[in-house]
């Protein structure tokens, strides 16, 4: 039996635009998904208690049918099964063990579908745990690559390498198309996260931006301008100037909002953080609902968000220097 974990992330800059080849800077945070893999005779059994707030266990026998023991949205179960299924397929391929059976248990403290990259953390941890259980140790860069193939497959082609690379490597990273690297020397960033308790549909939100971009030149220009913010931002990141980083985060949020991926509750959390003198604040991830990230080393934004209508949870999230690891 092997347990591996991998971190979630926030986007300092660049979500959505990264899908069209612009650079992005996601940062791993100290919130993780843990996956335990045990080799069994055949098939695949999955236990995923986090898939719904009430909690339930899914038994998946590998015969193509899932058997949730309570009534949950079929699409939710299918998506969850899809990530684990494909991750296990990658592990079998990497270990050259096409027939290997697995029992997989998943648990985590990353809110689902909220822009903190729970899907990437799940896939990265699952590939690591399952390959180790088969006696194979993959380099983090190969896990990142295989995890990207999984997200790309499960999300119908609507995925960049950003989430999976960041989760596998940890720290602050830079992703531009297939070019992925860690940003050295960034050890800490004062992130505060506000969560509205909701979720966004990543595939639908990416498709919405794609439509706007095809329809209007100025929407394509907006996506390109996000790329400019990222290039400016990575230079500022090296200087540790939080004031300017925050200004660029604010600008990035404005452009994401123009592209239609913010929401009333995300905007109100962003404004609550700004009113409390955070250096800057923006939505993180696909948007539509879920989380915002603010930059603030004081407790002011944290306290303000606690009393903001629509904000269900608020927490500080340290930059996680570790990527995927065996527990």
Ligand X SMILES: C[C@@](O)(CCOP(=O)(O)O)CC(=O)O
Do residues 53 and 199 make contact, with C-beta atoms less than 8 angstroms apart? no
Q: Is residue 195 packed enough to be buried (19+ CB in 10 Å), middle (13-18) or exposed (0-12)?
A: buried
Instruction: Examine the residue annotation and report whether 63 is marked as an active-site residue of this protein.
Output: no
**115 among the known binding-site residues?**
yes
Question: Using the rule CB under 6 A, is 263 a contact of ligand X?
Answer: no
Residue 139, sorted as left (phi over 0), alpha (psi -120 to 50) or beta, turns out to be: beta
Of the candidate spans 117-125, 136-144, 171-179, 203-211, the one that interacts with Mg ion by CB under 5 A turns out to be 117-125
How many residues form the binding site for ligand X (CB under 6 A)?
Answer: 16
CA dihedral angle for residue 240, residue 263, residue 159, residue 138, rounded to 10 degrees: 50
Give 325's strand partners: 5
Site string for ligand X, 196-215 (x = CB under 6 A): ------x---x---------
Residue range at the interface with ligand X (CB under 6 A); choices 95-103, 160-168, 295-303, 311-319: 160-168
Dihedral pair phi/psi, residue 103, rounded to 5°: -110, 125
Pair 80, 48: CB distance under 8 Å: yes
CB of 206 to ligand X, least distance (A): 5
Separation of alpha carbons 295 and 281, rounded Å: 6
Task: Tell me how far, at minimum, the Cβ of 309 lies from ligand X, in Å.
Answer: 23
Identify the H or E element spanning 59. Answer: strand 58-60
CA 184/CA 319 separation, integer angstroms: 13
Nearest distance, CB of residue 30 and ligand X, angstroms: 16
Q: Which stretch binds ligand X (CB under 6 A): 34-42, 115-123, 138-146, 298-306?
A: 115-123
- Return the residue of 2, 16, 27, 229 that touches ligand X, per CB under 6 A: 16
Q: Of these partners, ligand X, Mg ion, ligand ADP, none, which one is at the site of residue 16 (CB under 5 to 8 Å by kind)?
A: ligand X
194 is in an annotated binding site: no
CA–CA distance, 22 with 20 (Å, rounded to integer):
6
Active-site choice (50, 128, 163, 296): 163
Instruction: Report the C-alpha gap between 135 and 131 in whole angstroms.
Output: 6
Among 119, 158, 222, 262, binds Mg ion (CB under 5 A): 119
Q: What whole-number distance in Å separates Cα of residue 79 and Cα of residue 68?
A: 13
Annotated binding-site residues for ATP read 111-121
Residues lying near Mg ion in the complex (CB under 5 A) are found at 119
Instruction: Give the binding site for ligand X (CB under 6 A).
Output: 15-16, 18-19, 115-117, 119, 159-160, 162-163, 202, 206, 285-286
Residue numbers annotated as active site: 163
């Amino acid at each position: 039996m092997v347990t591996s974990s991998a971190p979630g992330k926030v986007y300092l800059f660049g979500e959505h635009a990264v899908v069209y080849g612009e650079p992005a800077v996601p940062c791993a945070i100290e919130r993780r998904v843990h996956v335990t893999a045990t080799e069994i005779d055949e098939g695949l059994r999955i236990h995923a208690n986090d898939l719904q707030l009430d909690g339930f266990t899914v038994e998946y026998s590998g015969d193509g049918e899932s058997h949730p023991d309570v009534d949950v949205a079929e699409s939710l179960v299918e998506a969850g099964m899809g990530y684990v299924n494909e991750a296990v397929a990658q592990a079998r391929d990497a270990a050259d063990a096409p027939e290997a059976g697995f029992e997989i248990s998943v648990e985590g403290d990353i809110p689902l579908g909220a822009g903190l990259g729970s899907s990437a953390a799940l896939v990265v941890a699952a590939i690591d745990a399952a390959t180790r259980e088969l006696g194979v140790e993959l380099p983090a860069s190969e896990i990142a690559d295989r995890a990207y193939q999984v997200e790309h497959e499960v999300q119908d082609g609507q995925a960049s390498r950003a989430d999976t690379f960041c989760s596998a490597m940890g720290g602050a990273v830079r992703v531009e198309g297939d070019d992925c690297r860690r940003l050295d020397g960034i050890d800490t960033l004062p992130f505060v996260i506000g969560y509205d308790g909701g979720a966004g549909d990543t595939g639908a939100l990416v498709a919405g931006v794609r439509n706007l971009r095809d329809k209007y030149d100025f929407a394509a220009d907006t996506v390109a301008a996000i790329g400019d913010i990222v290039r400016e931002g990575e230079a500022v990141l090296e200087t540790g100037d939080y004031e300017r980083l925050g200004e660029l985060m604010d600008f990035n949020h404005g452009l994401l909002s123009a592209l239609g991926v913010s929401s009333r509750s995300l905007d109100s959390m962003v404004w609550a953080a700004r009113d409390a003198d955070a250096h800057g604040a923006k939505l993180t991830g696909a948007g539509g609902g879920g989380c915002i990230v603010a930059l603030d080393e004081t407790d002011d934004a944290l306290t303000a968000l606690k009393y903001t209508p629509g904000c269900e949870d608020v927490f500080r999230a340290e930059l996680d220097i570790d990527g995927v690891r065996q527990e």
